[in-house]
Amino acid sequence: MKTQLLTLQRSILTSGVLIGSLFISSCTKTETQPYEKEEMARISSFKIINTNQKIIGAIDNSNKTITVTLPANLYMTSLEPEVKVASGATLKQGTDTLITNMVDYFSNGRIIQYPVTATDGSSATYTLTIKSDQIPLNPQEVSTDLNNPIAYDQTFWYTRNDIYVLNTLSSYPYIATPESDLELAKASLVDKNGKEYAFKSISSATSPSVEKAYMLLNLNDIEGRVTGSGRDIKYNKVPAAGDYFIKLRYYSREVTLKNPIRIFYNN
């Protein structure tokens, strides 16, 4: 009887040890991940420092991109970046300079890059993208009827044909009263073939001086309309008689009115 009891105890002990060993083995099994060495040729931080607002660039080291988003109601004509690189890396001299003419950047695009080299011989080039949270423009139509555009007689040089493009809001987006600032605003007439005739100057006004904010365009301010000076000044038929759509830009936003205006000459 004692022998049977001893054998049973040994069997239970052996089974317990075996189960415990299996349990420990299953709990301690780990997978080894390969170590990825951090690149030395990288940008560690990017921010805009010529404003009181906090503007930090989002850095994607995998795709080598930097994205900066400007908040709504902030119309900066230039951006001064502060670029920091990782220890052991160097930014190409002269690439962290002032970024100017922001309206041109938003309307035409521009490649802005930051090449970085490191002491280990590696290199990388980051591309900057600038965005703006400016809300869309929403101007009112000058011509209320697509098939019957408002007509402007450009026959005589002394006729001042002003076009007031009213905004649906009392102040947005214009920030001065009045202003003529091509650093923020651009406008042009566009014909049916897509050819543009740019205005050389633009004015705007905001409340409380006016009921609604507007952009003011004068048809004699179109490029090519006036040539020469003094006694040699000449008023040309530019653009030619026809229907044109008004295209407006204010900072990062652009819109083309749906209904055209009509220009005609009586000679």
**Mind listing the pLDDT tens digit for each residue in 49-85?**
999 999 999 999 999 999 999 999 899 999 999 999 9
What pLDDT score does 80 carry?
97
Report yes or no on 96 lying in a domain: yes
Q: Name the residue with higher pLDDT: 1 or 71.
A: 71
The set of residues, in sequence order, having a beta carbon less than 8 Å from that of 158 and lying 6+ positions away, is none
φ, ψ of residue 66 in degrees (nearest 5): -130, 130
* CATH number of the domain residue 94 falls in: 2.60.40.2340
CB 213 within 8 A of CB 171: yes
* Same domain? 177 vs 241: yes
* CB burial of residue 222 (10 Å; 0-12, 13-18, 19+): buried
Mean pLDDT (whole number) for 11-24: 47
Pairing of the two strands 58-60 and 78-79: unpaired
What pLDDT score does 13 carry?
45
Domains of the chain: total = 2
CB 138 within 8 A of CB 167: yes
* Same domain? 128 vs 170: no
Q: Of 2-11, 99-108, 141-150, 241-250, where does mean pLDDT reach its minimum?
A: 2-11
Banded pLDDT at 19 (limits 50, 70, 90): very low
Mean pLDDT (whole number) for 14-24: 47
List residues bridging with 143 in a β-sheet: none
Q: Is 262 helix (H, G, I), strand (E, B) or coil?
A: strand
Cα–Cα nearest to 95, from 117, 80, 113:
113
* Same domain? 113 vs 172: no
Domain boundary among the residues 132, 159, 179 is at 132
The pTM of the full predicted model, rounded to 2 decimals, is 0.80
Cβ atoms within 10 Å of 187's Cβ, excluding its own: 24
The vertex-49 CA angle with 46 and 55, nearest 5°, equals: 60
Report yes or no on 16 lying in a domain: no
Banded pLDDT at 175 (limits 50, 70, 90): low
* Same domain? 105 vs 184: no
- Domain residue limits at 120: 43-132
What pLDDT score does 172 carry?
75
